[in-house]
Amino acid sequence: MVAENENITENGSIRIANEVVAVIAGLAATEVEGVAGMSGGVVGGIAEMLGKKNLAKGVKVEVGEKEAAVDLFIIVSYGIAIPEVAYEVQNNVKKAIHSMTGLDVIEVNVHIQGVQFPQEEKPEPELQPRVK
């Protein structure tokens, strides 16, 4: 992603790269309770396996001079009310981007890509003696 939006001030210009907006959105989304992680597809998965931490995984952004639109691809935890969590994600992402970059977020689309189930810990069966 290349820096696209440039804000010219009296002291110079400020550029915010799309990548930065994507990272802000990704972090804001994952801090919402009920979000298990981001779904970044095959390329993101391979990059993570190679040890590269991708904070913009599962985030697509369109950034203009004053506005931004975000698409988030998330995995939610099992047992939560999905619409409520998704709405919270939208609000949190909007707030985070606006407060950190000053951009107006016109759209935050949330795509639920999967559900993470808790791993059931099976207690190891105690070996009972066969004879008393």
Instruction: Report the interface residues with other proteins, using CB under 8 A.
Output: 69, 76, 78-83, 86-87, 90-91, 94, 105, 107-115, 117
Report d(CA 71, CA 31) in Å as an integer.
16
First to last CA, the chain: 71
Tokens read off for 85: 């969590």
Between 15 and 95, name the residue whose CB sits nearer to other proteins.
95
- Give least dist CB 59 to other proteins, A: 13
Report d(CA 29, CA 36) in Å as an integer.
10
In the 8-state DSSP scheme, what is residue 56?
Answer: T
Between 31 and 109, name the residue whose CB sits nearer to other proteins.
109
Between 15 and 111, name the residue whose CB sits nearer to other proteins.
111
- Give least dist CB 104 to other proteins, A: 12
- Give least dist CB 30 to other proteins, A: 17
Report d(CA 23, CA 56) in Å as an integer.
4
For 87-128, the DSSP string reads HHHHHHHHHHHHHHH--EEEEEEEEEEEEEPPPP-PPPPPPP
- Give least dist CB 54 to other proteins, A: 19
Between 24 and 110, name the residue whose CB sits nearer to other proteins.
110
